[in-house]
C-alpha cells in the first residue's frame, strides 16, 4: 500500500472517480476537516447523508455515524476509514441489556440519542441528536412516560430544559466526562473575559458554569456570533480548528481534563487519519453493512427525527 506524495490531490481524484462525498465530524483531525465536502454535527451529517446524490459516502466520523448514513442509503457504498472507530457512549448501551430495560417499562416511549448502535435504534421510537433533543421531547404527548438513552448527561440537561421527567439509561461519553469543573473555574479566573461554552454530554457541574450549551454546530455558531473575544471550549478540541478558521480574531482555549493527559481528544474519532481516508477510498473498504431487518427497523425512528426537527 504505497502512499502518494500528495494525499490531498490523490483523495480529490478518487472522489471524482468514485462519485463520492466526504462527510466529516468536527472531532476529526484538521487535515480531514479541510478535505471534507461537508463538516457538521450529527444532525447536519444525517441530513447530508439523507440528501446526497453521490454514489459513495465516505464517512470521516465514528461507526454509529457511518451506520446511520447506511441506514438512510441502503443501496450506496458507505466507507469508514477505520472500522474500529467506535464510541464509548454507544458501547455503554448493549442491546440485550437495553431490551430487558425496555421490556420492564412497556408503556414508555423510547427516545434514543443518535450515539447508539443500529440495534438500539431499531428498539427506539424516535432518534434525537444534541441539537434537537429538547425540541423533540417537547413535541411528545405530556402524559406519555419516556425512556431516554443512552446518555445520562444529555438526558439530565433535557429534563432541566423541558421540565419533563425522563427515565434515563446510565450511559456516558468518556471524553465529555473528563472535564474538570475545578480547573475550568481556575482557567476562567485567569481569563476573566472568556465565556465557557459546553456540549450537553458534559456532566451537570461543568454545565452549570457554561454561558452557552449546545451541539458542536451550535457551539461554533455561538462562538462566531457572541461579542466575547475568548472562549473556554468544553467539548472535543477538534472543533477548535473550525472555530479558529471561522472566527479568526478570537481565542479558543480547550477546557482542561481532570488528569493531565490529552483525554479530551476522542480516541475513537482520532483513529481516522488522512492516510486511512485515502486507503479506504482506493480499496473501497472497510464498508458498512447491516442486516436488512435491523436497517429497516432503525430507519423508522431516524426518519421520524428528520421530520420532527
- Give which of 4, 15, 6 is closest to 281, Cα–Cα: 15
Closest CB to ligand 13P among residues 48, 129: 129
**What string of DSSP letters covers 196-224?**
EEE-TTS-HHHHTT-SEE--HHHHHHHHH
Which of 72, 89, 149, 166 forms a contact with ligand SF4 (CB under 6 A)?
89
For residue 215, state whether it binds ligand 13P (rule: CB under 6 A).
Answer: yes
Q: If contact means CB under 5 to 8 A according to the sort of partner, which of ligand 13P, ligand SF4, none does residue 129 touch? A: ligand 13P
Closest CB to ligand 13P among residues 124, 130: 130
Closest CB to ligand SF4 among residues 62, 166: 62
Residue 269 neighbours by CB under 8 Å, 6+ apart: 25, 27, 28, 61, 62, 85, 236, 238
For residue 201, state whether it binds ligand 13P (rule: CB under 6 A).
Answer: yes
Report in angstroms how near the CB of residue 190 gets to ligand 13P at its nearest. Answer: 27
What is the greatest pairwise CA distance in the chain? Answer: 61
For residue 129, state whether it binds ligand 13P (rule: CB under 6 A).
Answer: yes
Query: CB of 208 within 8 A of CB of 177?
Result: no
Residue found by looking up cell 465516505 in the block: 58
Task: Give the footprint of ligand SF4 on residues 154-193 (CB under 6 A).
Answer: 173-175
Which of 128, 269, 281, 302 forms a contact with ligand SF4 (CB under 6 A)?
269
Peptide bond into 147 cis (omega under 30): no
Q: What CA–CA distances, in Å, run from 18 to 31, 62, 238? A: 21, 21, 28
For residue 216, state whether it binds ligand 13P (rule: CB under 6 A).
Answer: yes
- Give which of 132, 137, 110, 134 is closest to 121, Cα–Cα: 110
Residues forming the site for ligand 13P (CB under 6 A): 41-42, 115, 129-130, 173, 199, 201, 215-216
List residues forming the annotated binding site.
25, 42, 87, 113-115, 130, 173, 199-201, 216, 266
Residues forming the site for ligand SF4 (CB under 6 A): 27, 62, 87-89, 115, 173-175, 236, 266, 268-269
Amino acid at each position: 500500500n504505497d502512499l502518494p506524495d500528495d494525499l490531498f490531490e490523490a483523495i480529490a481524484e478518487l472522489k471524482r472517480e468514485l462519485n463520492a462525498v466526504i462527510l466529516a465530524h468536527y472531532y476529526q483531525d484538521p487535515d480531514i476537516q479541510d478535505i471534507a465536502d461537508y463538516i457538521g454535527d450529527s444532525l447536519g451529517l444525517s441530513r447530508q447523508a439523507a440528501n446526497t446524490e453521490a454514489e459513495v459516502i465516505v464517512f470521516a466520523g465514528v461507526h454509529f455515524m457511518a451506520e446511520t448514513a447506511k441506514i438512510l442509503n441502503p443501496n450506496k457504498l458507505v466507507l469508514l476509514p477505520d472500522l474500529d472507530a467506535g464510541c464509548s457512549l454507544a458501547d455503554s448501551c448493549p442491546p440485550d441489556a437495553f431490551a430487558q430495560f425496555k421490556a420492564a417499562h412497556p408503556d414508555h416511549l423510547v427516545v434514543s440519542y443518535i450515539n447508539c448502535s443500529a440495534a438500539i435504534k431499531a428498539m427506539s421510537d424516535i432518534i434525537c441528536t444534541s441539537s434537537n433533543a429538547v425540541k423533540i421531547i417537547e413535541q411528545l404527548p405530556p402524559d406519555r412516560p419516556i425512556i431516554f438513552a443512552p446518555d445520562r448527561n444529555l438526558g439530565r440537561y433535557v429534563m432541566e430544559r423541558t421540565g419533563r421527567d425522563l427515565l434515563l439509561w446510565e450511559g456516558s461519553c468518556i471524553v465529555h466526562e473528563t472535564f474538570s469543573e475545578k480547573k475550568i473555574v481556575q482557567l476562567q479566573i485567569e481569563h476573566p473575559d472568556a465565556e465557557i461554552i459546553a456540549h450537553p454530554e458534559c456532566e451537570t457541574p461543568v454545565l452549570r458554569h457554561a454561558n452557552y450549551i449546545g451541539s458542536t454546530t451550535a457551539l461554533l455558531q455561538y462562538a462566531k456570533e457572541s461579542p466575547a473575544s475568548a472562549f473556554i471550549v468544553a467539548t472535543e478540541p477538534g472543533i477548535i480548528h473550525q472555530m479558529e478558521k471561522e472566527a479568526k480574531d478570537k481565542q479558543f482555549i480547550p477546557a482542561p481534563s481532570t488528569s493531565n493527559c490529552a483525554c479530551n481528544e476522542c480516541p475513537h474519532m482520532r483513529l481516522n487519519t488522512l492516510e486511512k481516508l485515502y486507503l479506504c477510498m482506493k480499496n473501497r473498504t472497510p464498508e458498512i453493512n447491516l442486516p436488512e431487518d435491523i436497517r429497516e427497523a432503525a430507519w423508522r425512528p431516524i426518519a421520524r427525527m428528520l421530520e420532527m426537527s
